[in-house]
Structure formats: C-alpha cells, structure tokens
Amino acid sequence: MPAFPTLQPDAVNALVEYLRTGESQRANSPRAAAMMPYRFTGYRKFLDQDGYPAIQPPWGTLNAINLNTGALAWSVPLGEYPELAAKGMNNTGSENYGGPIVTAGGLVFIGATNFDRKFRAFDARTGERLWETTLPFSGNGTPATYEIDGRQFIVVPAGGGKSRSQAGPGGVADSGGTYVAYALPGSPR
C-alpha cells in the first residue's frame, strides 16, 4: 500500500478501523467519505466482447532489465490463449501470475501463464525461448531449484485455478495440488 502523507488524522483513524474490523465508517460519516477520495472498487478488466484483453497484444511479457544501466535488455511475449493459437494467432502473451527463477548457467524458468499451462526456459542473455512443456495445471508459483548428488533440478508448483480452458461448472477452473520437477540437462546422473 503506498504512503499517503497528506491523510488527516480522521482519515488515518478510519483506515485503521477498517483494517482492524472490516467495517467502513463512511456510512456513519459523510466527512470521512469525502476525505478518502480513492478507494478500491474491485478489479475491472478491460476486455473485448470475446473476453480477451481489449488492447493490442502482447497481453503479457517477460522482461529483462540490465541492472547496471536500468535499460530494458529484452522483452518477449509470455503465454498464449490455446484457442487463438489454434487459429494461428501466436505470441499474444497472456495474464501471468508467478515469477521466474534464473540459474547460474543463464537459464530463466517461468510458468505463470494461466491459459496455456506451459512451463518455459529462456536464455537469460537474449530472451530466446529454449524449451517448453505443458503442465497438468497452470504453474502460478515461482519455481525453485535444488541439487541432489550434483544433479540440478527445477521444481514448479502447478495448482491451476484460473485457466479458461480448464473451466468447469460455474466457470471456475479445475485446480490441482501438483509439484512437477525437471532435471537439467548436463547434470551428472
């Protein structure tokens, strides 16, 4: 939550009361409502008539920043909608929930894409996609890496729950509780 140094004591007290109790003082105090001109009214996505983002693709990207200069090193579309890809509309990107992990060998691993359930590896220097696979459910958690007897593994939680293609009754996507691990090539056996 960003700082609001200009909030008056009444507004701070109203905010603290809301955080403590979940009850708004706005109903009891028109003055408190006027003092809090910004409020969260829920997430509203700007979608077209078919339910896709109503902006020009890519609708999700993976970006690398050069930490020495602050400049964008590369940016690539991340994710796609399988039904659009089947019609030849590739590299659209999609919503992403989850982060990447970068290995000492220069690989970037990320799941994060809700709709295609893919887990991908990219070259950390160029952004070139080197590998991808389909998970049983979308991998919305950040991957982790570990080593056993000199062999490196990458594990990703695949819990799903947001995919349009997995939507079941009521429009809610199926969820799983799966962890999927991969051994990196070149690791000793």
Q: For the segment 68-126, what is each residue's pLDDT rounded down to a tens digit?
A: 999 999 999 999 999 999 999 999 999 898 899 999 999 999 999 988 999 999 999 99
Is the distance from CB of 150 to CB of 187 less than 8 angstroms? yes
Can you tell me whether residue 121 is helix, strand or coil?
A: strand
CB-based contacts of 126, cutoff 8 Å, min separation 6: 74
* Beta strand pairing call for 101-102 and 107-110: antiparallel
Domain 61-183: give its CATH code: 2.40.128
Nearest to 143 by CA among 132, 154, 135: 154
DSSP assignment of 132-147 equals EEE-SS---SPPEEEE
User: Which residue did the predictor score with more confidence, 153 or 189?
Assistant: 153
Query: Whole-angstrom Cα distance, residue 138 to residue 109?
Result: 14
Is the distance from CB of 76 to CB of 108 less than 8 angstroms? no
Residue 13's pLDDT is what? 83
Length of the chain: 189
Neighbours of 103 (CB within 10 A): 15
Q: Is the pLDDT of residue 183 over 90?
A: yes
Q: Is the pLDDT of residue 167 over 90?
A: no
- Under the banding of pLDDT at 50, 70 and 90, the label for residue 24 is low
CB-based contacts of 46, cutoff 8 Å, min separation 6: 53, 54, 55
Query: Whole-angstrom Cα distance, residue 72 to residue 65?
Result: 5
Mean pLDDT score, 137-160: 93
Is the distance from CB of 111 to CB of 78 less than 8 angstroms? no
Mean pLDDT score, 131-135: 95
Q: Is the pLDDT of residue 181 over 70?
A: yes
User: pLDDT > 70: what percent of the chain?
Assistant: 79
Residue 4's pLDDT is what? 67
Residue 134's pLDDT is what? 94
Q: Is the pLDDT of residue 64 over 90?
A: yes
- Under the banding of pLDDT at 50, 70 and 90, the label for residue 170 is very low
The answer to which of 52-61, 77-86, 104-113, 156-165 has the lowest mean pLDDT is 156-165
Is the distance from CB of 144 to CB of 100 less than 8 angstroms? no
Residue 186's pLDDT is what? 76
Q: Is the pLDDT of residue 65 over 50?
A: yes
Residues of the chain with CATH 2.40.128: 61-183
* Beta strand pairing call for 61-65 and 72-77: antiparallel
Residue 14's pLDDT is what? 80
